[in-house]
């Protein structure tokens, strides 16, 4: 066993305690974190404002180990836009995926919060691969660091829409976000960070005041349909989502995004759009319509134990005329509606296509 911990796994508070316990100043923790996350210096000996004894003590206790990028595939989106899907190996051998999307000035990283997922939404590839484990805050943060360093760019936006359910790993996600959103460290403003959830209402209540953007994967306009595709709906049905949103005076001008995967002949009719109009108000929510992405069946490794039944659903993507009509209907009712043509689709880096293998 390695007796050293990765320094990336410590919160500011934890590093402060370490400094105090080792005869250094609380403020040294802030300086060290600034070196690491702001100046990207991964060597205690180069931290010139840190005393020699403290540097020695840090060297004895911590390393700069991070997960490793082991594969990447790139898709050009035209006009200089592109996306890259990264396969990242964690220290215990499990693998996760992150997707970088370069779109004009916006450089977005779609990060994973778990290896696999427990939520079992049956239209989602990740869900069909089962759950391995929660990521640590270090593993969440290192997705940003690794990819910024690899591409020599600054990430401007982070979305928790990769593998996993962020609210099912909330303590590590929150710990990572403290460093990611701190202007002195990674420095991505909270309004540029989106937490996307299948709708775990109790946990949503815990983050509602933290000023991150919230997206809820609704994906159906009534409980009968939602129960068929998202098991979480049995615990937190659509009424709970409606109530959470209408109670939410705290959202201010930051509307909640409702994500809605359009599946052909399942949830894409004008009647479904009408049901949505009855449930929600344009003051509180905007819609993100996502044309369904097919599973990457050909590339599923034999060693992976998938729930074969889920793949027999044969879901298809809604055709363009139908989703344009769906969008029109919602827009005429006053909603802001964006159709999210998943970037990175040809490299299976689109929404719901991440599975943690090459």
Residue number closest to ligand SAH, CB atom: 352
Q: Does 141 bind ligand SAH (CB under 6 A)?
A: no
Element (H, E) at 290: strand 285-291
Q: State the minimum distance, in angstroms, from the CB of residue 159 to ligand SAH.
A: 8
Helix (H, G, I), strand (E, B) or coil at 326: helix
Question: In which residue are the tokens 């979305």 written?
Answer: 159
Give the span between the Cα atoms of 267 and 313, in whole angstroms.
14
Size of the site for ligand SAH (CB under 6 A): 16
Give the span between the Cα atoms of 195 and 108, in whole angstroms.
13
Q: State the minimum distance, in angstroms, from the CB of residue 117 to ligand SAH.
A: 6
Of positions 217, 221, 272, 310, contacts ligand SAH by CB under 6 A:
217
Q: Does 197 bind ligand SAH (CB under 6 A)?
A: yes
Catalytic residue, candidates 97, 165, 172, 259: 97
Residue 237 phi/psi, 5-degree rounding, is -70, 175
Q: State the minimum distance, in angstroms, from the CB of residue 148 to ligand SAH.
A: 22
Sign of torsion, CA 273 231 209 172?
Answer: negative
- 351 catalytic residue (yes or no): yes
Q: Does 207 bind ligand SAH (CB under 6 A)?
A: no
Long-range contacts of 177-180 (CB under 8 A, 24+ apart): 177/210, 177/212, 178/11, 178/12, 179/11, 179/12, 179/33, 179/37, 179/137, 179/141, 180/141, 180/144
Q: How many C-beta atoms lie closer than 10 Å to residue 226's C-beta?
A: 23
Q: State the minimum distance, in angstroms, from the CB of residue 246 to ligand SAH.
A: 20
Q: State the minimum distance, in angstroms, from the CB of residue 293 to ligand SAH.
A: 4
Burial of 64 (0-12, 13-18, 19+ CB in 10 A): middle
Residues in contact with ligand SAH, shown as a per-residue x/- string from 262 to 301 under the rule CB under 6 A: ----------------------------x-xx--------
Of positions 95, 352, 355, 356, contacts ligand SAH by CB under 6 A:
352
Give the span between the Cα atoms of 91 and 65, in whole angstroms.
9
- 320 catalytic residue (yes or no): no
Residues of span 330-349 touching ligand SAH by CB under 6 A: none
**Stretch near ligand SAH under the rule CB under 6 A, chosen from 25-33, 79-87, 88-96, 193-201:** 193-201
Of positions 219, 267, 272, 327, contacts ligand SAH by CB under 6 A:
219
Active site residue ranges: 97, 351
Give the residues lining the site for ligand SAH (CB under 6 A).
Answer: 123-124, 161, 165, 196-198, 217, 219, 259, 261, 290, 292-293, 351-352
């Amino acid at each position: 066993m390695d007796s050293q911990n990765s320094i990336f796994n410590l919160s500011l508070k934890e590093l402060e305690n370490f400094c105090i316990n080792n005869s250094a100043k609380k403020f040294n923790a802030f300086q060290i974190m600034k070196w690491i996350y702001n100046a990207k210096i991964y060597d205690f000996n180069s931290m010139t404002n840190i005393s020699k004894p403290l540097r020695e003590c840090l060297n004895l206790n911590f390393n700069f180990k991070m997960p490793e990028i082991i594969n990447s595939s790139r898709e050009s989106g035209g006009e200089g836009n592109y996306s890259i899907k990264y396969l990242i190996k964690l220290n215990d051998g499990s693998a996760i995926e992150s997707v970088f999307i370069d779109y004009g000035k916006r450089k977005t990283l779609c990060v994973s919060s778990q290896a696999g997922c427990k939520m079992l939404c049956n239209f989602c590839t990740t869900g069909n691969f089962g759950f391995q484990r929660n990521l640590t805050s270090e593993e969440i943060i290192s997705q940003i660091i690794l990819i910024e360093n690899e591409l020599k760019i600054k990430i401007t936006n982070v979305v928790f829409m990769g593998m996993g359910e962020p609210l099912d790993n909330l303590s590590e996600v929150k710990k990572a976000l403290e460093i990611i959103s701190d202007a002195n460290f990674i420095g991505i403003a909270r309004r540029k960070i989106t937490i996307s959830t299948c709708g775990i209402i109790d946990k949503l209540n815990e983050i509602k005041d933290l000023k991150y953007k919230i997206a809820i994967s609704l994906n159906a306009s009534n409980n009968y349909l939602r129960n068929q595709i998202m098991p979480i709906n049995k615990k937190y049905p659509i009424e709970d989502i409606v109530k959470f949103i209408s109670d939410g005076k705290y959202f201010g001008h930051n509307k909640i995004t409702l994500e809605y995967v359009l599946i052909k002949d399942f949830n894409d009719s004008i009647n479904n759009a009408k049901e949505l109009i009855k449930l929600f108000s344009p003051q509180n929510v905007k819609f993100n319509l996502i044309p369904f992405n097919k599973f990457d069946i050909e590339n599923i490794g034999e060693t992976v134990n998938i729930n074969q039944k889920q793949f027999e659903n044969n879901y298809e993507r809604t055709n363009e005329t139908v989703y344009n009509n769906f969008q029109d209907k919602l827009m005429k009712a006053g909603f802001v509606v964006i159709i999210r043509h998943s970037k990175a689709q040809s490299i299976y880096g689109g929404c719901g296509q991440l599975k943690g293998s090459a």
